[in-house]
Every structure is written in structure tokens, then in C-alpha cells.
Amino acid sequence: MKSKFQNIALIGKYAKDGKDSKNPQNHSGSSVVTSTARILQSLTHFLHSYGANVILEKETAASCDFSHSEIQNTDQIGASCDLAIVVGGDGTMLGFGRRLAPHGIPLIGINQGRLGFITDIALDQIEATLAPMLEGHYTEDFRSLMIGKVIRNERCVFSTLAMNDVVVNRGATAGMVELRVEVNGHFLSNQRADGLIIATPTGSTAYALSSGGPIIHPGLSGWVLVPIAPHTLSNRPIVLGNDAEIMIELVSGKDASANFDMQSLASLTRGDRISVIKSDHQVKFLHPNGWSYFDTLRKKLHWNEGVA
């Protein structure tokens, strides 16, 4: 059979210098790179058998020593490819999903991580699952993005996209922060807490969920605001439409920061405002036919355990 997709980009989880970037003393990153390289090699041969042209993402290729393959950076992939296959965990998918979203390229995720809410193809089922998808048998799944900005003295000093969440956090050794929250210019609340999360439906199963927020189906056009350990227990999560502009002002608090998908970080000073609005871009995921969001929840959250 021939692939519906002519130019397919392969992107893999990699560790710089063969180390775990969160722990320089942990060399387990080497095994991650080795495993990723093997998977990418196998995928390359498989995709070639379907007549597809395979392109390796530049940083992935350098980490996995794929110098003999066609290599492109993310912008080049966006201009030339009609599909990207991402091997890694949800964090890898979040990073490249944001970067490729403006190009409208669909993404398929192969789960090399632990949870796999958005990288849903198991390692032992790659070829069997991909084969019908390459022939055009798949389910499309669109996920919204947020634009997060840090505004200081009426000037934007930081701006980025987020697929999961925007989080305002207190400092590691500091006390609570005080935040003023507005929605579409209307005062909503003052919050004294360890922080505040603004999550998309995709991010509602991440940090927001562990902080007591609700799960939002990705088909809904909404966001959830979830306080982190609020001083006042009546400060509860609230679901808003994603056509709103949310503005958070840091009234007080030392060493506070704004995190975007926990991958981009901006340090905050008193008086800074964090603006969050909906992006015009979406991330397009492709899932195997028969995929269901509810199946994913049940499996990942172990809702079926203990039931005969």
C-alpha cells in the first residue's frame, strides 16, 4: 500500500549531552536516546516501505546520530511536510505541537513516556496501528492553544504559546502570592494562594487536575482557573469560555514566576500582569480509528480497576 502522506517528519525525545536535563548527574538520558534511535530507525524503514519520504528533525537527528538521513529544522518541516510523528512523552509532544501548530501539520504521537494522554500509540503496536492511518483511516482531534504574555510597565516582555496551561507560582522558598484576577476587564477575585493555573481542556488532566480542578472534554470551548492551595477555601476552580481575556496581576509575592506548559519560564516582579487569550492556531492530532477520549481517561486514570 502507498502512504496518503508523502513527506513525513520524525521527531524524537532526546537528552542533551546524553544526560537527563533535569538531573545532570543522571545518565539515564543515554538509554532514552538509544531507545529513541532504534525506534526511529525502525520507523524510517517502515515508512519507506509505504513510499513516504522521511525527514528527521534537526535536534533529534543530532542526538541520535542520523546524519545520513534528510534533516530539517522545525520551520523547514512546517513548510515541507504533511505529517509529523512524535516519539516521546506528552512533554515532547507539547513542545513540538506548539512549534508546528502555526503550520497546520497533523501530529501522531508514539508514547515513550509514562501517562501518554496525547501520545497514545504504544511502542509494541507501532506498525499495526500506523499502517491503516497511513492509508487514511484515522480520527482527527483538534486542540486549542493559549497565548500567554507578561506585561511590565505597559510593555510586553515575554510572549509564548501554551497547549496545557499557564501557571503563576510563588517562589520556592517564599510565602503565598497575592493575585488580582480580571476576566474581559471585569474584576473577578483577589487570590492569596501558592499560585493559580489557567488550563485548556488538554491541560485539565495535568497540573490543574492534581490541584482539584475538573476534567474538561477537549471538544468544549473552555478554560479552567484553578487556585493552588488557596488561603481562602471559598476560592474554587471556575470554568470560563475561551473567548475571554484573563488578566492576572501580581500584587505581592517574592520570587514569583509564570510557567507556560512548564517548559517556558518568566520571572515576575510586583505589578507584572499576565495576559492569557486564545490563539488562532490549533494543534491537530491524528488517532487510530475507534479512538475515544473516554477510553483514554479510563485507561490512564485507572477508572476501570476493581470492577468485575
Same domain, 214 and 107: no
150 and 269, same domain (yes or no): yes
Q: List pLDDT tens digits, range 232-284.
A: 989 999 999 999 999 999 999 999 999 999 999 999 999 999 999 999 999 99
Does one domain contain both 95 and 35? yes
User: Would you state the pLDDT for residue 62?
Assistant: 83
Q: What is the pLDDT of residues 87-119, one digit of tens each?
A: 999 999 999 999 999 999 999 999 987 778 999
Helix (H, G, I), strand (E, B) or coil at 55: strand
Last residue of a domain, one of 88, 117, 136: 136
Closest CA to 163 of 293, 243, 282, 244: 282
Whether residue 110 is found in the same domain as residue 15: yes
Please tell me whether residues 28 and 76 are part of one structural domain: yes
CATH of the domain at 73: 3.40.50.10330
123 with 171, same domain: the answer is no
Residues 198 and 170 both lie in one domain:
yes
* 87 and 199 part of one domain: no
- What are the two backbone dihedrals, phi and then psi, of residue 56, each rounded to the nearest 5 degrees? -95, 135
Full residue range of the structural domain in which residue 267 is found: 145-279
* Those residues with Cβ within 8 angstroms of residue 207's Cβ, 6 or more apart along the chain or in another chain: 164, 165, 167, 197, 199, 262
**What integer best gives the mean pLDDT of the chain?**
90
Distance between CA atoms of 91 and 88, rounded to whole angstroms? 8
Are 190 and 257 in the same domain?
yes
**Does one domain contain both 167 and 103?**
no
Number of domains in the chain: 2
| DSSP-assigned letter for residue 23 | B
Residues 101 and 53 in one domain: yes
Active site residue 90: yes
Regarding whether 61 and 18 lie in a shared domain, the answer is yes
Does residue 303 form part of some domain? no
Query: Are the C-beta atoms of residues 213 and 224 closer than 8 Å to each other?
Result: yes
Give yes or no for a contact between 272 and 152, defined as CB atoms under 8 angstroms apart. yes
Residue 295 belongs to a domain: no
Q: Picking from 42-46, 58-62, 74-78, 100-104, which range would have the lowest pLDDT averaged per residue? A: 58-62
Instruction: Decide if 304 is inside a domain.
Output: no
The answer to whether residue 299 is domain-embedded is no
Give a yes or no: residue 221 inside a domain.
Answer: yes
Cα separation, 235 vs 3, whole angstroms = 52
| Annotated active-site residue in 20, 75, 82, 90 | 90
- Would 297 be classed as within a structural domain? no
